[in-house]
Copies of this chain bind each other. A is one copy, B any other.
């Protein structure tokens, strides 16, 4: 028998994450992730940041999103396939890993499909708390797919949003969202068009899935003081806002080098002025300057948000006793003797003989 020499990888499956969110509470998870994102954004310069690596095909994109500080390396695997519902699959699926920078050992492997919805909502609400008009009470939700409930709850909890105006080209999606949000303190209205949903809203969240240069939101729909939380423009060739909307707004992004490639601002010249949101949090740059300004959070999803979410979920799983051990790495008594694992791991002479015979 060998001693367990390796730091094992803790695995949190999708059912494990569902249990975690059920036990901790979804609101507590959203608030906890928002706090963690804020804390990590405030030490922005501690991180080794890169734009994510994307592999595009005709039907979607698969991305790897790495980031590290001096202690931990994190990455997320995530896809975006707008037609996936035709195969019974979500548009976005994800998982991720936290690893020790000191040794490179992966320590935590987790589902991130559910977690991505939570962290995206937390990020959106955190940004809106800084950028939306104080006293905002109503939000239009354009695109009522998998993210809708999470966005609604995050904006309820962090900003006090109570009035929701829903629109989706798929009426069933709006009906699903309204049904899921029933009894949770919202006034809900399903609208017949984007224009109707947007009219009178303090905040507009766009979260549509089509991989195209769409113009979900046009300048005529935008009124002074509006905050636009633009989620769906998040890869080259996939935008939601008419460029005229951007021209009249103060635009905030997560990580500028990535947003120039993937965000709404891919439509704009390279010198179009934007502010990285962490600078607003840190008090280095102004957020909204007055009640009549139009603000846009051009959100594409940045690795640091997943770093924060993974850290929160790891701590919460540990506190709740959730997660399993995964034997992702071989154990060796002598790390220079990797070959040795083929001889001793079986524990039986028979298997050893089979292997030795195969060597010859």
Contact = CB atoms under 8 A, between A and B. Distances in A.
A290 interface: no
A22 B342 contact: yes
Interface in A40-61: 48, 50, 53, 55-57, 59-61
Interface string A172-193: 0100100010001100000000
B111 A330 contact: yes
Contacts of A91: 335
A284 interface: no
A18 B342 contact: yes
Interface stretch (A245-253, A271-279, A352-360): A352-360
A15 B21 CA distance: 31
A180 B343 CA distance: 10
Contacts of A335: 84-85, 88-91, 146
Contacts of A103: 59-60, 79, 81, 84, 87, 89
A52 B330 CA distance: 24
A345 interface: yes
B48 A55 contact: yes
A321 interface: no
Interface string A67-103: 0101001010101110011011111010101010111
A15 B117 CA distance: 34
A149 interface: yes
Contacts of A326: 11, 13
Give the one of A95, A336, A346, A357 with max B CB within 10 A.
A336
Interface in A230-281: none
A91 B90 CA distance: 38
B329 A359 contact: no
A13 B327 CA distance: 6
Contacts of A148: 339
Contact of A93 (B22, B66, B105): B105
Contacts of A73: 55, 62
B27 A359 contact: yes
Contacts of A25: 354-355, 357-359
A111 B329 contact: yes
A328 B22 contact: no
A351 B341 CA distance: 43
A85 B336 contact: yes
A26 B352 CA distance: 12
A282 interface: no
A328 B14 contact: yes
Contact of A101 (B57, B68, B338): B57
A23 to B, nearest CB: 7
A11 to B, nearest CB: 8
Interface string A14-34: 110111011111111000000
17 contacts: A14-B331, A14-B341, A18-B341, A19-B346, A21-B342, A22-B358, A26-B358, A53-B66, A60-B103, A62-B73, A75-B77, A79-B104, A85-B335, A111-B330, A113-B329, A153-B359, A184-B360
Interface of A: 5-6, 11, 13-15, 17-19, 21-28, 48, 50, 53, 55-57, 59-62, 64, 66, 68, 70, 73, 75, 77, 79-81, 84-85, 87-91, 93, 95, 97, 99, 101-106, 111, 113-114, 117, 144-150, 153, 170, 173, 176, 180, 184-185, 326-332, 334-342, 345-346, 351, 354-355, 357-360
